[in-house]
Structure 1
Amino acid sequence: MITITAYQSTGPKDLFQHVNLKDCSTEESETIEIDRSQLFQEIDGFGASFTDSSAYLIDQVLSPQDKEGLMTQLFHREKGIGLSVIRNPMGASDYARSLYSYDDQPAGQSDVELKDFSIDHDRESILPLTKWAIDINPDISVFASPWSPPAWMKTTDTMNGGKLKEEYYESYGNYFVKFIQAYEQAGVPISAVTPQNEPLYMPLHYPSMEFLAHEEARFIKDYLKPAFLRQGISTKIIAYDHNWDRIDYAFDVLDEASESIDGIAWHWYGGRPISQSRVHHEYPQIDTHFTEGSGGEWIPAFEPAFSNLMRTGIDVMRNYAKSFVLWNMALDEHNGPTVPGFGKSTCRGIVTINQETKKLDYTLDYYGLAHFSKWVKKGAKRIGSTTNQFVKNVAFLNTDGTVVSVLFNDSHVPQSIRLKLDGQIIKQLIIPEKGAMTLVIESKGVE
């Protein structure tokens, strides 16, 4: 016996709603086949980031009742959408209230031995919220990425722009060690780190650093990985952490240091997700992660923005990603706070928290993530599934045997679908135009 539970989104007032499926088909029905015998990557999960700004808004602006409700909605596996990956900046990013690292020094001074290293800044809101999320959902993996090393390590003597000085490669490797150890002691294990967020983009209005492929490869191979081995640290090292359009960086860093690298991380601000598969096929032992994609005012809400999230999310997972992580967990009514001097922000958070009214709103990104995260559990595997020119689809097999299919009708007319599981027709249904649907398929007594 097969039972199917369906959740559907068709518009801004109809998001991730439980629906009762009716059998309905036409002669023009398209067939989508799900094949449990085709097993692909294991899934770590879906999530977003507790940036300094996000953590501040959730922890210090929301009322205690709203804060508890939001944390439940974000991370609880039954009462919420069960997010299971958190990617936190190591120090300030563009979405922080100030410029800071974990070892700031007065101008002209350095701290090669990192005697002043401290994660005290994160103890205010970032660490408590991350620990709370893990308490709610013990399956959570925490990733960490720096936007910049401490200013004294850099050619510019500032966190904005510049490069890492050669003489501080060893200190920077130890900086990661101290961060991982401090977070571990605070009750937050770090599953993976990247050496640098967006290493090929060096804006001067927020923390950044250029880290070319041969430089990152050398840092990982000769400094970061050896520092981890000396301290018995098992945290994974994920390289690149930038857009699909510079596949050459991923290949270059792997060609030089693949034995010291566990994965490649991708962002969606340029190129196409097929880059993930191209690297995977050359280096199948290297994990694929999608670690940042933000919605924003550059794609009008609702339909174009929601459609972009759903079609891209499906493509990301079909191209071997173990994770799908959006950007800020929360932003305010002005798409901030941002670091001083940033200028106008156009990004959108998973939720919006109005600093004046204290009102909490769940954005389309929350509901788009829900289509994946609510039912695809950590440890699931992507399985074979067909798509057609109109309906995008990706399917997963959970460890409890349930099959989850995420579908998106990327056309402007309803589409009739004949759904097959392992060669057997199990349902005929219609997906509304520009509609998303998650199907949870349970087989009882059927092999």
Structure 2
Amino acid sequence: MAYPARPFGQHRRSVPSPKRCVQQPFDSKRRGVPDVQRDLSHSARASLHSDWPRRVAAAIAATLVALGLLVPAAAPASQSSSQSSSGDPSNLLTGAEATFSGTTGGWVPLNNSSLSWVQTPSTLSTGSLDMSATSTAWVYGASPKVAATPGTRYTAQASLMTPSSASVAVALAFYDSSGKQINAVAGKSATPAASTWTTLPQAAAVAPSGTRTVALIVAAWTASVGQHFYIESPVLASPTPTVNVDLTNGNSNVLSAPFSQTTTSLGPVSSGTITLDPSKTFQSVDGFGANLTNSSAAVLMSLPSTTRNTVLSNLFDPTKAGISVIRLPMGANDFSANGCSASAQVCPSGNYTYDDPPAGAAANWTDPSLSNFNILPYDQNIVNILHSAQKINPNLTIIASPWTAPPWMKTNAPVTDPYASGSNGRLNPSYYGVYAQYFVKYVQAYAKEGINVNYVTPQNEPGVTTTTYPGMLFSSYQERSFVDNNLAPALTKAGLSTQILGYDWDWKSSSWTTSDVENVLSGAPSNVAGTAWHCYGGDPSTQSTVEASYNYPRWLNFITECSGVGIDSGYGITGSTTVDNFAYHLGLDSQKLIVGGLNNWASGVQLFNVAENQYYGPQNGGCNDCKPVVQVDTNTNAVSYTVDYYVLTEASSVLESGARIISTSSSNGLQAVAGLNPDNTTGLYVSNPSQTSATFTVNDGGEGFTYTIPSLSVASFRWSN
């Protein structure tokens, strides 16, 4: 097995031999809706979800303009030089303008401030600029003006220290030939710790038409009279931003083919095939991942330790696939290797729960005190894999879902297989309280192992009739009663922070309507945190239908399972739907899960099994061709990475945990989703399901680039703001 690291710059990912690598910095706040899936409730509520720091930054810019704060004529425009005296060749501020070597460097007070040079407390031998507040109103200081060109991108940054707390930011101010300020753009606000030097968030903007000069402004508000703001290392620059591009080409099923990794430049654009609107922000992204079933864990643990460590690194390392959300089955599901070899195709002994009758127990055995409860040895492999994964990515989000309660808690379960649901196998109402404690014990048992379970769902696919693998039926009214009267109170009483996600089934199911889903969710607001969804029927726009009633950020949406087999087609994707059709599943998973899911309020997307063996098993009576993220030949220990690996990697490379989805419109048959990452970069994920290549232009607030994406391919883009 060869998985050569393929780094692409300091922030980029390396991945196994197949198709992809990633990365570079990202901000944190935006949201997109593809043309075929636009949900009007998003735009209608966009203003409610704008992030506060950007609104403060906008207020700074608006105040600058309103106050008419112009750099006085006494501060003439300086010309850029090939090497600034600050030591930064890109800095348009030169000499003392950037170093304050014994002077104020030509900086001027604009509002409620006085400026002077000080040696202490600067970290530099040249000293720093002291901006002192003369009132409690907004306080500004500005650099000398520098010659600027319309349509050119400028950035501003500086370090600041103040003895007491205050909100501060840097801004860019643009002026016309008469010296009149025509625009001001502020970076995100910051509140530095007292007496601590802090690099303020960068401000970036394209100079508007009519611009002749630009200045860097340091702004503070909530200042007290006499408060000092020490400034050093100001940088006013005109960089050429680089866009990092990763491509997964679906035209080849040869997984050893390398990802295409290139760069392009960001520049002025007037329109776009794909248009981003960062002023409209939506939900935060929790992350991407898969289900760590009993079978998946058994297959991974069967590998030699060196090989297993490499696979886990490729899966969980944030610089690689970056899996950050894992779903666990609470007991057996349709992929359980309990009592079987990891090489088995079918495992007849796969069924188990955490409180089954001991050997020799009477037929009517029950355990209402749950004294027999134990997650081990059944989940030992799962625990071992999670411990290894946590060392690679300590910030995993864990969701747990049961396929069935212990058979002794059920009514009308099939006599031949009481773990299954049959036509009417349900939780006995007399055991609702006991089953709630079963959840509590599960969360506590995993916590004892050092694993925090963030969310639970009451039941996997509550309307599915199963005869060959574990299952249990819940009506919406039964689930709501169990959650409101038993599960939520039990978790709270136990002092657990674990939250509940309702439903956990398809966007469109055979027996639950959208009204049924909303019925489960309509109990006490504190009882249910959101909804879990599967992909096997319907369309992700259902997430927006439900979201319109409950409203982010109160409401979360997670796609908790999808294998791609049997999924509705549509989206114009053609070709064989078999599990080995790379191009088909690349397009379908990208559009329905990543683009469609995120553009309809999903905070996380999880595919089905993390790993399976060469027989798509070990199976416990369920799906016999559900594709995994990683497939292991247990005879040779050879490891292959399926299309699901590349879908996850493309997405996590440009939309990190904490990213905010932004408004995105697309045309020309392309599907796109974009977001702002916590590190102040923008990420864009584009799918082209067409049989022909497509050339498109991205417009991000007047800046952008043009790119040609091959047919049946996915490209991800990332650039600094």
Instruction: Specify the TM-score bucket, using the shorter chain as the normaliser.
Output: over 0.9
Q: Map 1:222-237 to 2 at 5 A.
A: 222-237=485-500
User: Which one of 542, 545, 548 corresponds to residue 275 of structure 1?
Assistant: 542
Q: Equivalent residue for 2:326?
A: 86
How far does residue 380 in structure 1 lie from its aligned partner after superposition?
1.1
User: 1:404-443 maps to which residues of 2 (within 5 A)?
Assistant: 404-422=683-701, 424-443=702-721
Q: Distance in 2 between matches of 1:90 and 1:5?
A: 40
Tell me the amino acid that sits aligned with residue 101 of structure 1.
T
Within the candidate set 380, 385, 389, 2:664 is matched to 385
- In structure 1, what is the Cα distance between the partners aligned to 2:334 and 2:382? 15
When residues 303 and 18 of structure 1 are mapped into structure 2, their CA distance, relative to the original with a 3 A threshold, is closer
**How much does 1:48 deviate?**
0.4
Q: Give the aligned partner of residue 75 of structure 1.
A: 316
Deviations 1:339-372 (A, max 9, x none): 2xx2770111101111222211100110111111
Higher relative contact order (CA 8 A, sep 6+): 1
Q: How far off its partner does 1:335 sit? A: 1.0
Cα pair 2:246 2:717 within 8 Å, conserved: yes
Distance (Å, rounded) in 2 between the aligned partners of 1:180 and 1:16: 41
Q: Residue type of the partner of 2:393?
A: N
Residue identity matched to 2:672? N
Equivalent in the alignment of 1:113? 369
- Cα separation, partners in 2 of 1:123 and 1:254, compared to 1, 3 Å: closer
Question: 382-391 or 317-326, which moves further after superposition?
Answer: 382-391
Residue 124 of structure 1: CA displacement?
A: 2.4
Secondary structure in 2 aligned to 1:366? helix
8 Å CA contact 1:142, 1:189 repeated in 2: yes
Moved over 3 A (4+): 13-16, 21-24, 256-259
Two-structure CA RMSD over aligned residues (Å): 1.8
Aligned runs of 1:391-406 on 2, under 5 Å? Answer: 391-406=670-685
Distance in 1 between residues matched to 2:525 and 2:471, nearest whole Å: 25
1:314 pairs, out of 595, 602, 624, with: 595
- The equivalences for 1:189-338 within 5 A come to 189-245=452-508, 246-284=513-551, 285-296=554-565, 299-300=577-578, 301-312=581-592, 313-338=594-619
Larger displacement relative to structure 2 (49-58 or 407-416): 407-416
Contact kept in structure 2, 1:288 and 1:321, CA below 8 Å: yes
The offset of 1:205, in angstroms, is 0.4
> Deviation at 1:327?
0.5
Change (3 A) 1:57 1:354: same
Aligned equivalent of 2:353: 101
Which runs of no fewer than 5 residues in structure 1 stay unpaired? Answer: none
- Shift of residue 123, structure 1, vs aligned partner: 4.6
**Stretch deviating more after TM superposition (165-174 or 257-266):** 257-266
- Say if 2:429 is the partner of 1:159: no
Shift in alpha-carbon separation, 1:380–1:108, aligned structure 2, 3 A: same
SS in 2 for 1:386: strand
**1:354 aligned to 624, 633, 652, which one?**
633
Check whether the contact 1:417–1:429 (CA below 8 A) recurs between aligned residues: yes
Task: State the distance in 2 between where 1:185 and 1:126 align.
Answer: 14
**Of 18, 43, 46, which residue of structure 1 is paired with 2:285?**
43
Cα distance, 1:30 vs structure 2: 5.5
CA shift digits 1:249-295 (9 cap, x unpaired): 21111234544111111100001110000000111122111100013
Asked if 1:169 is matched to 2:448, the reply is no
- Report if the CA contact (8 A) 1:96-1:337 is conserved: yes
- Look up the equivalent residue of 2:699 and give its one-letter code: K
Q: Distance in 1 between matches of 2:633 and 2:410?
A: 36
Aligned length: 434
> Do the aligned partners of 1:21 and 1:429 also contact (CA within 8 Å) in 2?
no
Kept in 2, the 8 Å contact 1:47–1:325? The answer is yes
User: Is the partner of 1:116 in helix, strand or coil?
Assistant: coil
Helix, strand or coil: the match of 1:219? helix
Partner Cα distance (2:371, 2:613) in 1: 36
Query: In 2, distance between residues paired with 1:344 and 1:322?
Result: 26
The structural deviation recorded for 1:247 is 2.0
The residue type paired with residue 393 of structure 1 is A
Q: Does 1:132 align with 2:374?
A: no
**For residue 100 of structure 1, what is the amino acid of its counterpart?**
Y
